[in-house]
Amino acid sequence: MSRLILALDVYERERALEIAECTADYLWAIKVNWPLIIGSGLKIITELKQVTGLPIIADLKLADIPNTNRLIAKKVFEAGADYVIAHGFVGRDSVKAVMELGKTIIVVEMSHPGAKEFIQPVTDKLIEMANELGPFGVIAPATRPERVSYIRSKLKPGIKVITPGVGAQGGTASEVLKAGADYIIVGRAIYQSENPRESARRIFEEVEAWS
């Protein structure tokens, strides 16, 4: 089974469906974020599932009070999302509200340079929360493989480590897999390339070489 997740951060429905269809052979799942939901509506989740048959991860990075997180997550799971991503820094109650509705992924550390300001200093607490709640997985930065190793070493076995930041943000698939990532998330390096299928295939081969 592939360990590659496509971050489908385009606005247009037709483009999204076209890229999803031509890369699906090399993916484990498709991650849908706000740009696509704002551009094409929530029903794109249902359509992507129908067209590819792949799991859909709704990356809404929910960070609200439990009731609002619940109201949003309910509609997103109903639309067919298999996983919803939530921020942990808002507290256990907000994360639990999402977990009660379906499979959840908690952000424990982000990939961009600014993550060092607020998220990284609380990563240990977020790992502790993940170990206590037992989500499907956590988000860790492919741009800092040494942090992925650290997070993997502190996390309970069974909780997946999912890493964005490969390609456009400078991370490499082989380094982050070596550091202990279970899945890698790739967006622009696939959907902005001239041949998304070929780019997905190349990254898939790199991932396979490490599996």
Per CB under 6 A, residues contacting ligand O7M are 7, 9, 33, 59, 61, 85, 107, 110-111, 139, 141, 164-165, 167-169, 185-189
Q: Binding residue per annotation — 69?
A: no
Is 61 an active-site residue?
A: yes
Q: Binding residue per annotation — 124?
A: no
Name the one residue in this structure whose structure tokens are 């031509």: 22
The one catalytic residue among 25, 43, 49, 64? 64
End-to-end CA distance of the chain: 10
The one catalytic residue among 43, 59, 75, 116? 59
Smallest gap from Cβ 69 to ligand O7M, in A, equals 15
Smallest gap from Cβ 71 to ligand O7M, in A, equals 20
Smallest gap from Cβ 10 to ligand O7M, in A, equals 11
Smallest gap from Cβ 112 to ligand O7M, in A, equals 6
Compare residues 72 and 107 and give the one whose CB is closer to ligand O7M. Answer: 107
Q: Binding residue per annotation — 141?
A: no
Q: Binding residue per annotation — 25?
A: no
Compare residues 75 and 188 and give the one whose CB is closer to ligand O7M. Answer: 188
Smallest gap from Cβ 128 to ligand O7M, in A, equals 19
Residue nearest to ligand O7M (CB): 187
Nearest by Cα to 58 from 111, 102, 108, 89: 102
Q: Binding residue per annotation — 50?
A: no
Q: Binding residue per annotation — 211?
A: no
Sequence-ordered alpha helix ranges (H) in 42-186? 43-52, 66-78, 92-99, 115-118, 123-133, 145-154, 173-178
The one catalytic residue among 61, 103, 154, 160? 61
Residues 6+ apart with CB under 8 A from 97: 66, 67, 69, 70, 73
Listed in order, strand segments (DSSP E) in the chain are 4-7, 29-33, 56-62, 83-87, 103-107, 137-139, 160-164, 183-186
Sign of CA dihedral 19, 22, 23, 28: positive
How far is the C-alpha of 201 from the C-alpha of 73, rounded, in Å?
32
Is 25 an active-site residue?
A: no
- Which residues are identified as catalytic? 59, 61, 64
Binding-site annotation: residue ranges for substrate: 9, 31, 59-68, 111, 164-174, 187-188
